[in-house]
Structure 1
């Protein structure tokens, strides 16, 4: 399915929310593609849009400042505020066609997934970024923003959940991940692939669609902090030291990023059981890019949950939100939590 801009249609109004990242940073010279953060310059979104010039002549842009951060500095408190900002903006201005969020690429997939789980909007929300600052040679900032605007303005994107676009392709927030450090085509979605592409004329081409947006997490509106959830990475010879430390630090949940079969290293197993017995929600995932962890007898016997095919960082975010929602509703129902995680 292809959606081509209609010059006679009503002009779309897209809110562009800037959060910083490479997209907003300023290279020190034309080939400063790696250490550009050392310049210390992060442009506000309205200044950056003025610099980039006209990208979409049939779309009205509404710049909204959030904060200017490198994405390595973004965390759960920022996610909560960003999600609330989008909800408030949508409620205050129903004429908005959609939203574009510009974001650093290091944690872009995590922010997009958080928004997907917490926003119940019909308007499209599209997250994009850049691998090279806008003032450097070969920058992808303008092209990525143009693609994001086209997707956000497309009627076909309504109700599709949060989307991510870079490199001319767009992806479901659930599946996308950054697979390369510096390549322009750094984002992939193993094993399912992109949902579609944006052509040079800003036509949005869908090649497949999700069955539907991710089920929204029942997060109370007054939540200002999220429970601590950590990820324990398995590797040959790993023991339980990190797991015990996470419990001591107050973790409410632990995601075990297990070996490819979806099992922890043998010396980690007893620490995970101890954590579960101490009341920590422990979910078994796998570090394999195309892995999955189904419900199994050994997990149930040890009091652990199965993580399905969600990547560990995405599973961590879902678990944070689910624990917060269960807390507000009177306590954690482990069976209901297992069902929810596998439904995401």
Structure 2
């Protein structure tokens, strides 16, 4: 018998699973196409056995730019299955590439069906590199997933000894170890050695218990992100409409504005029945629900980044096309 908690580990690939050409290969390591599966990652970090009983769960190892809806759905199903088969499970850790880690984390925070903590973890340097952060990040993530205080906080992201909320965190630097940040609100807590300490919690609703069920879906409604810039004339917005988009998220100029021709294209899209949501390219801050947005039929993304607003809007469109209900989702999640 053991008194160590049981934690499942699902490996999806990414830098945390990667092996470069040598220990100094910290930038071009993806060229080798060498990635460890979940069990191999666990085996490469023997210190994990001192922290918890690790249950490796086979998935597939890919680069994170290759991860999207199909993987989100399958991860929801994998988490559900492993939680059912192992009722004594304390938590689940998902290894993930950092490029889209925040998007997967937010998608799962809206769609998971399991009650135990789910923690996403990645690394900035490959497993094979000198001074890799992969091993210690994984240990910290397992400690966080096993901690009773992690329950009820939604999906968590752990890198660089910091615990972040899936809804709020974003990647802010290409290569620095402290890349994951929550610009407006800061971290939830720290992992210092054996100690997992929380100092605040995110107030927005999260899974389980949301109206978004993707387990039987084959795809999400198409939602595209248009990026505002000086002289933008609406060409991208009209192209997305022509491609069959059911929703458009605008990464607007702060605080949620666009050039006049772009505004006309967005108003046309909203009048045609598309769900149009205004975010901002600024990286932080709330888009105020102004008279101009209301007059054009455009909704506010609250303070969600464009990439996360896209996920919530796509999920919302699986439930409703009512703008008032969709606006309520952005105020809730």
Normalized against structure 1, the TM-score is what? 0.93
Q: Is the 8 A contact 1:161 1:212 kept in 2?
A: no
Structure 1 distance, partners of 2:204, 2:263, is 36
Please tell me whether residue 292 in structure 1 is matched to residue 281 in structure 2: no
Out of 284-293 and 149-158, give the one that drifted further. Answer: 284-293
Matching residue of 2:61: 68
Q: Is the 8 A contact 1:239 1:265 kept in 2?
A: yes
C-alpha displacement of 1:180: 0.4
Structure-1 separation of matches of 2:204 and 2:277: 24
Deviation per CA, 1:63-102: give whole Å up to 9, x if none: 0111111001111111111112112221222111110000
1:190-209 equivalent positions in 2, closer than 5 A: 190-200=183-193, 202-209=194-201
Aligned equivalents of 2:41, 2:255: Cα separation in 1: 46
Deviation of the 1:303 alpha carbon: 1.3
Match of 1:83 in 2: 76
Paired with 2:2 and 2:32, the residues of 1 have a C-alpha distance of: 42
Task: Note if contact 2:165-2:202 (Cα within 8 Å) is conserved in structure 1.
Answer: yes
Cα shift at 1:212: 5.7
Structure 2 counterparts to residues 306-325 of structure 1, below 5 A: 306-325=300-319
Moved more, 73-82 or 19-28: 73-82
1:131 is aligned to 124
Number of positions where the alignment pairs a residue of Structure 1 with one of Structure 2: 331
Question: Could you say which residue in structure 2 is the equivalent of 1:341?
Answer: 330
Distance 1:277 1:30 in 2: 56
- Answering whether residue 254 of structure 2 is matched by residue 265 of structure 1, we say no
* Structure 1: distance between partners of 2:234 and 2:144: 45
1:262/1:291 contact within 8 Å kept: no
SS in 2 for 1:100: strand
**Cα distance between partner residues in 1 of 2:301 and 2:41:** 40
Q: Distance in 1 between matches of 2:40 and 2:117?
A: 24
Cα distance in 2 for partners of 1:164, 1:84 equals: 20
CA contact under 8 A between 1:160 and 1:212: conserved in structure 2?
Answer: no
Q: Is the 8 A contact 2:20 2:26 kept in 1?
A: yes
Q: Provide TM-score, normalisation by structure 2.
A: 0.96
Deviations 1:188-233 (A, max 9, x none): 0011010011002x21011212236426243264212111101001
Report the Cα distance in structure 2 between the residues aligned to 1:163 and 1:235, rounded to whole angstroms. Answer: 33
